Every structure is written in structure tokens, then in C-alpha cells.
Chain A
């Protein structure tokens, strides 16, 4: 029986090692998310080694959010103009005061900021696969309060990759999966 438990534990560990996860979700219970009609997506912070990772993920996120038809997303050029006018020192991490000021300039109900934590290829022995890890937060522009946060990690080496190789999915597909996951959490 003890042996069987060990085998089961081993299987669970192996399977869970390659699984993607959405963690750290917070939704303000007092916030009326349906009142949000327009949002500004700030430039994302980049903690990965790929220099264009933040731009790539932001681009995909903006397009995906617009394509839902649920909210209107301001063009990035307009957000940049608002950031310049509000004199925000560090656009990826604005202070609550700066968010309120930006909301007034851009006439949006919420501002979304993000961090790309991982955007690379991971290796394990001879196997490699792409991995993307993103965290987002939404701040409402009336009070500058954080009303929603979520993070998602997609890709990585799956059991299939370990057994049969294949190199995982292309980075664009993995990014879309991570963004889809985050948007699903936003409208949940």
C-alpha cells in the first residue's frame, strides 16, 4: 500500500511539473466591473531577458481585450500622450494619484498595468519548451484603488514533451493562451 502511494505521489509530481497555472487572483467585491466601458493599458514591466517581451504581450493583450467587445481599449499612442501629459515618471507602475490624474486626461474608468515575469525557453535535459508568465492588475481611476489582479503561467515542459520531445508550442501561441486565461479571469 505504501509503495502504491509513493507511485501515485510520483505521478502527481511529474504531471503537475509541466502544468500551467493561474494563481493569485483578487477581485474587489465592491467594484462594479460592468461600469467599466473604457480602459487604458499601460506599458508592461519586463522582468524577462527578451527585450521586446513586454511590448509583445501588451500588444496581444490589447487586441484580445478589444476582440471580446466587452470594453473599449484606448490606442497605445493615446495612452502614451496621456502618460506624457500626466507626467508619470514610471508608466508600468503608476501611483494611485497618477492613475486618478491619467483617468481624467484619458476619460477611462480603469487603468491596467502588467509585469512580464518570464518569456523564454526552458530546458530540462534534452527537452525544451517556451514559457510565458504574466501578472496584471486593474486600478479604477476614481480612487486609484487596485480592483483586480491575476497572474498566469503557460507553456513549459509537459509530460508529452518529456516522453516524445517536440519542443513545446511556439511563443506566440503560449502568449495567447496566457492572455486568454487572464481575460477569462477578468470576466469571470
Chain B
């Protein structure tokens, strides 16, 4: 009799938890709608995945999976066929950003309120699989801006756990985990309209090895920043573009910076016919400052951006960053960073980093934290 009562109590408890959880899901969807009730429905166009990995990857599947996750979470997604027609009409071939004209056309013609840009930075199916993705939501209309940006780089052996029970050997399972994490991040941002994070510090080993910070940089001021293309001297294809995305993501985390959408910068560079062979010259900087209204221009050079496949190896990242200020036409930040995946690792691979993405992310975060001090 006592056992039966105990069983009934447990069953009731489980039922209660299930009801609470389900009611939470339902209200989450509701909240999402409510959050943008003032502007009508929040329609997102999901661009085809920009493949920066330099290797073949199932980009179509990645996009489809992301769209289905967004729909599950209650987002309205622009029909793929309608998006393709729009892209053909406006001859959109570049899917790594949105310029002003396209953002305006999106708003007027499709009533889309955000464009989701997905950049694939690493895709390896060799066991253990590795995937790195950055996604950002850009607003449409006359003044496009970055509403949300997040990224994740994971290896199947990041958390092996006891007896290797935490190992992920299936690339599809890892991809789903990464996409879920990104779509959760987007939902959380949209639901709570949370203030941007202000993460200072980070691990000591990821700090820049050499750094110069001018006293001109005011930590209490809000700066508008252009992240110009990084010069790529590494053997990794698209390493410059990947570093740009790392910096945009971490600059956006701080209240001190407002980053201009890179699609707008790309268009301005094309319009001004600026070719940066050796980095940003002051005349190039002046032109960019006047057309974009920015206060700072960030650029740099990537010397190494190496990932490895399989079990043996270690990632390696080496880059320098440079920040030019508008009024003084001066360098206000300059740094040199380099790390390897096993830096500071002494026992049982504790603290080891398995992807260049995860390492570069911590390195750039550390730089941005020191910029604002």
C-alpha cells in the first residue's frame, strides 16, 4: 500500500513537471510573437550558407536544418522559393552580408524584418567530427544593423567524459547540437531582448602577447566600428573573413561598440574601389570614415589559422590587429596574438582546445576586453 502511494506520488510529480515544461514551451512561442507585436510578425529570410571552410560541406542540409529549428522555435521564415526569386531579381550572389540597397528591398518587397546569414567556418567528418558556425541576424530597411550574432566551434571529442561516453562520432549529431545551440541563442536574445553581455577578462593564456593601447581610447564612450577585411597570409582559405566574424561577434558583446554590418562595408569598398594590399592606409581610412560615419576602423593580418583532422594534432592561430581612430588619424590599438591548442595543458588534456575557431574566439574576446579596459 505504501509502495503504491509512493508510485502514485512519483507519477503525479512527473506529470506536473511535464505540464510545467510544456506550458513553458507554449508561452515561449507566445512571448516571441508578443515581443515583436508592435511591428507585426517578425519574418526572417535565411540566406544560403556561406562556406568559408574551404572544404566541401552539406551546406544545403545545414540551411534546411537551421530553418526547421527556427520554425520549431516559433520564428516565421520567408519561403525559400520567394527568397530565391528575390535574390535572382536583385542579382544577389554574395551571401556573406547585406548592403543598404538589398536591406531596403527586403523590407519593401518581402516584408522581411531580418536576414539570417550563416557562415560555415569548419566542417570535418573525419572521426572525431568538427564543426564551426557563425550566424547573425541583420535588420532590414533603411538602416540595416546587426540584431544578433553568435557562433560555435565544436569537436566531437570536446567533452569525452568518463570512459569516452561523451564522445560524438556522428557528424550529423554534432551538427544538430551546434544548430540547436545557435537557434536557442537567437531565441533567447529575441525573447528577453537582453542587454548585450559584457564579458571581461577571459583566460590568461589567450591574452595578446604584445599589445599597445593609446590613452585616446575612451572606455566610457560608445564607438561605431568598421571591421575591415583582414589580410590573409596563412595557408587556410578565407582565414581573413573568419577573423572579421570573430571580431564582429565579440565587439557586439560590449556596450562600447556598435559594429557596422560587414555587407555595407563590402559595398562601400567596392564603390570606393579600395584595394588594401598591405592593410588600411590613412586615405582609405578617411574615405571609409566619411561614407560610413564610423569612429574606428579595425583591420589586421592573419599569419596562421590551422585546424587538424582526426585525433592527432593541435590547432594554431596567429594574427595581429590594428585599430585606427577617426579624429586623430592614429593607431589607437595594436596587438599580436598567437596560441596553440595545447598551450598551458599539462595533465590529461585538461584545458585543451580542439578547434581553431574556439581558440580564435577566446583570443579575440580577450583583445576586445582590453580595448575597452
Contacts and interface: CB of A to CB of B under 8 A. Distances in A.
Nearest to B324: A75
A172 B279 contact: no
Q: Which of A59, A81, A170 has the most CB of B within 10 A?
A: A59
Contact of A80 (B212, B279, B303): B279
B210 interface: yes
Nearest to B318: A172
A78 B284 CA distance: 9
Given A56-B303, A75-B331, A63 B279 contact: no
B282 A75 contact: yes
B255 interface: no
B366 interface: no
Nearest to B301: A59
Q: Which of B324, B331, B340 has the most CB of A within 10 A?
A: B331
Interface string B308-336: 00000000001010101000001100111
B331 A77 contact: no
Interface size class of A (residues with CB under 8 A): 20 to 34
B211 interface: yes
Nearest to B330: A72
A176 B210 contact: yes
Contact of B281 (A43, A78, A176): A78
Q: Which of A52, A73, A75 has the most CB of B within 10 A?
A: A75
Contacts of A176: 209-210
Interface in B264-318: 276-284, 299, 301, 303, 318
Contacts of B335: 63
Contacts of B338: 172
B303 A63 contact: no
A147 interface: no
Interface in A45-60: 52, 55-56, 59-60
B210 A77 contact: no
A77 B318 contact: no
B171 to A, nearest CB: 32
B172 to A, nearest CB: 37
Interface in B116-130: none
B27 interface: no
A69 B215 CA distance: 11
A155 to B, nearest CB: 16
B281 A80 contact: yes
Contact of A172 (B209, B281, B322): B209
A100 B221 CA distance: 40
11 contacts: A43-B278, A52-B233, A55-B301, A56-B233, A59-B303, A67-B334, A73-B331, A73-B334, A75-B282, A77-B278, A176-B209
Given A67-B212, A67-B334, A78-B280, 5 more contacts: A59-B320, A76-B279, A78-B281, A81-B284, A176-B209
